[in-house]
Each structure stands twice: as structure tokens, then as C-alpha cells.
Amino acid sequence: MERPTRDRLRPGFGWAWGSFGPPQDLLRRVATRSDLLADLWGEVWTLLLLAVIIAGIIAHAPLVVALGAMASVVALASRIWAKLSLEEVQFSREVSSDRVFAGEEFELIVTVVNKKPLPLPWLTITDAVPIELAVDSADMSLGERHDALILRRTVSMSWYEKIRMRYRVRALKRGYLRFGPARLASGDLFGLFRVTREARRRDSMVVYPRSVPMPDFMVPAPRPIGDTVSKFRLWEDASRPSGLREYAPGDSLRRVDWKATARTNDLLVRTYDHRVAQSAVIAVDVDTSEKSWEGYSPQMLERVVTAAASVAVRLEETGHRIGLISNAIPLSETARMVIPPGADPRRMTTVLESLAMVRPVSMNRLDRVLEAERLAVPFGATVIVVSAICPPPLQAACRELARRGHAVVILYVGEESPPLPSRGVDVLSDGVRFDPPPEPGKRAR
């Protein structure tokens, strides 16, 4: 964590001393146990001062009355100061990248702006940070939520000042992560009164699953990795020139190679290879036990997700059009668990985001999902099934896909005996490969 940077703002005239309510889209009042105790202490202090003044009057002690009156003025000023302390205070957070891979680092920037002529002797900022993130050199503590830790920082601010606090953060696990809500607490100089408000803004980010290099992963014949020459000469790939030929009636003038024509004095046109791109669909089975009441294995689920992400990265490297089919229920409504193969350059990002949001809850068995989503698997596409259990119904669905003309690979990542290969269905078993690396100072099992 770096030292906070402070900037002085140019004073403006938009702040009204009589306005006690902050902007509706920024902060809202929150009453916590500490707030109630602080308010109670302020009220007790006020009553004590009143009692001192009354006692001084009864005892005919002008000095006691004067001291009590002066203390009452201080208490009244402190109360007003506390009420106005969070007026025109703006809070924001931002991350250097809202899309990172598990294990990567990024920067979290928390900004607080005091846009009024009243300084803040102290300002405590508490923000909820997802437990999947590790914040370097920060004061972190447990909170009410089981899925978040509390980032706490106390600073002082002068009038019209902006403070930026920068933190180095490392993503520990994949997921769809949400920051907040954040709470700001401030008060008077003497600590008699305090006020707490909650920032409504909540930011989110996606941590992609970890991927493992798979240079040895090959799709079995007759569909090798890479593009294949089309048997049906329906169109030509303009990115693959193959040579020149003489101009024929009906050829487009755009295909004329004018340099070669000028050199040979013959009208020549360019020719191209007839090729089509390979398509591959990754079928992800999030079930880690054949019976739902047996629960799930976090280790096996992460193996499945890591293996699926690794295969997707490998297929992207080899030029495949990637699709995804899963029986998972995603964390976010924007995630898609059925993605047909396509040429969209953002398809890889969509697949990784969907894998990042996989939860250990399935909507149905994967074999039933594959049957229901037959249209998402184009003819001739290779199907890579990633599973930690691969029950008999799923094996039967793989054999049916092979019978329909698909090349099928079962990537088994479980700890039991892998399923046996069959005609048109290859089986790869390498679950330990997708386990996370051991932490520094710890031995791998």
C-alpha cells in the first residue's frame, strides 16, 4: 500500500451550510452500534454540562456557570461540526483492470473528496473487499459477510482536498466479484459526536479462471488441430492466396493482379485456397458426484474449470472457432452457459467470463443438456467433454455424438479410474495437471 496522495481542489460556491442531506446518489445515513454509542455519549455529555450550569446557578458560582456555558458552546459547535462533516464528501473506487486472470495483480484506487470549506479532523473509511482478493499491506478484518473482508483506513482531510489511496491487490480465485458497500465515518475534533454514512456505489470485476499451457493437446484424427481443406469448393479464403491464373469472363476486377499483368502483358487474377475453419465445442460438467445429495468437491470443480479454460486457450491458439456448453448455473445473469461456435473475436472473452462465473450447482445432467442443445454443436465440430466423474449416461452421450460424425474427446480430471475409450471417442486422463501450484513454503501433495 502506497502513501495516500493529496490534491487541493479549487473552492466552489455550490455548498450550502444549511443543507444537512448529502446527494441522494452518493451516501445514505447508516445507524450502527458504534454510532448509537457515540450519539449516546454526546447526549450524556450535553446533559452533564446542563447539570453543571444548573448546579452553578443554584450554588451562586459564576465561574462554574461561565465554564459550563463555554463548554456548552463547544459541545454545540462540535455537534454542528459532526452533522456537517460528511456533507459534500464524495467516495469512489476503481480498479486498474476489471478483467484479470487468477494469480494476477492489479491496482485498487480509493478516492475521497472533501468539497466544502469545513475540514475533517478524522475520517474512517471501511470498504468490503471480496474474500477472493488479497490486498497487500492493508488493515483487513472480518466483517458481517462471509464472502468479504473489511478494508479499513483512517485519514484527516483539510478543506477542498482530494485523497487517493492505492493498494496492490492479487486475485486468488476466479469469480464474479463485487466491492462494497463502503462506509464513511467522521465527526468533530473532540470525538463527542460522529456520523456514519454508506456509499451506495458498488463496483464489480471478473477474475478469469487459471489456465495451464497445453502444447501437447491434440484433437484426434480425422479432425486435427488447425484449418482443414474443404472437400466442397463453395468459397475461397481470401487470406490464403495460392497462385495466379488467366482472366476468365465473369471474374471480378478486384481479383486482377495488376503488377503481374503489367509484367507478363497477360491479364492475370489471383487464386485462393478453399478452406474452412475447424469448430470445437467444450462441454463442461460441473457435477463432481453422481448423487446431488452427496455435495460437491471444490478441488474437482476447480480442476474442471481450469481444464476447460486451458483447452479454450489452446483451441484459440490453434485457430479454432470455440463454443461452450455447460450444465452450470452462472453467478451473473449476463453469463451464458450455451455459446455456439462463431467467428466473433470476442468469443474467447465470453467463454472465459462464463467459466469464471460457474457455481457448484447444475441445472441438469450434462448428457441431457447436450441432447437439448444439439443445434449449438454444428456438423463436423469437435466436442471436448471435461468432467470429474463422467457417469455412464454421459459416456453414452459421447458415443452418440461420435455416431453423428463428431470427433469426441473426454478430458477426465477425476481421481477414480477413467472411462474406457470407444470408437470415435478418445479419453485423456490428467487431473493433477490442473491443480493450483503449491504456495511458497508448502510442499505439493
pLDDT averaged over consecutive 10-residue blocks of the chain (445 residues)?
68 45 41 53 62 68 66 70 87 91 92 91 91 87 83 90 93 90 86 81 88 82 43 47 77 78 80 65 91 81 94 88 89 78 83 90 89 88 93 94 91 91 90 80 49
Contact 280, 220 (CB under 8 A): no
What pLDDT was estimated at residue 395? 94
Contact 288, 362 (CB under 8 A): no
What pLDDT was estimated at residue 138? 81
What pLDDT was estimated at residue 402? 92
Contact 396, 424 (CB under 8 A): no
What pLDDT was estimated at residue 19? 37
Residue from 285, 282, 403 nearest 351 by CA: 282
Identify the helix (H) or strand (E) that includes residue 40: helix 33-58
What pLDDT was estimated at residue 401? 93
Q: Specify the CATH number for 1-13+21-208; select among 3.40.50.720, 2.60.40.10, 3.30.565.10, 3.40.1410.10.
A: 2.60.40.10
Homologous superfamily (CATH) for 279-434: von Willebrand factor, type A domain (3.40.50.410)
Burial bucket for residue 64 (CB in 10 Å: 0-12, 13-18, 19+): middle
Q: How far apart are CA 87 and CA 17, in angstroms?
A: 9
Q: Where do the domains of the chain lie?
A: 1-13+21-208, 228-276, 279-434
Between helices 347-356 and 298-317, what is the axis angle to 10°? 170
Can you tell me whether residue 345 is helix, strand or coil?
A: coil
**Distances in Å between the alpha carbon of 216 and those of 220, 265, 307, 355?**
12, 50, 14, 22
What pLDDT was estimated at residue 209? 93
What pLDDT was estimated at residue 274? 47
254 Cβ contact partners less than 8 Å away, ≥ 6 residues apart: none
Residue 279: what are its φ and ψ, rounded to 5°?
-115, 145
Residue from 335, 415, 327, 398 nearest 365 by CA: 327
Contact 9, 15 (CB under 8 A): no
Q: How far apart are CA 63 and CA 65, in angstroms?
A: 5
The sheet with strand 425-429 has its strands ordered as 338-339, 321-326, 279-284, 382-387, 408-412, 425-429
Q: How far apart are CA 69 and CA 395, in angstroms?
A: 86
Identify the helix (H) or strand (E) that includes residue 398: helix 392-403
Cis peptide before 418 (omega within 30 of 0): no
Q: What pLDDT, in 10s, does the model give residues 421-439?
A: 988 899 999 888 998 877 6
Q: What pLDDT, in 10s, does the model give residues 289-311?
A: 887 767 788 899 999 999 999 99
| Cell numbers that stand for 398 in this block | 459421447
Sign of the torsion angle spanned by Cα atoms 23, 28, 29, 32: negative
Q: How far apart are CA 77 and CA 310, in angstroms?
A: 63
Enter the pTM of the model: 0.71
What pLDDT was estimated at residue 65? 61
Neighbour count for residue 220 (Cβ, 10 Å):
16
Neighbour count for residue 243 (Cβ, 10 Å):
9
| DSSP, residue by residue, 268-324 | EEEEE--EE--EEEEEE----SSSGGG---HHHHHHHHHHHHHHHHHHHHTTPEEEE
Can you tell me whether residue 62 is helix, strand or coil?
A: helix
What pLDDT was estimated at residue 39? 57
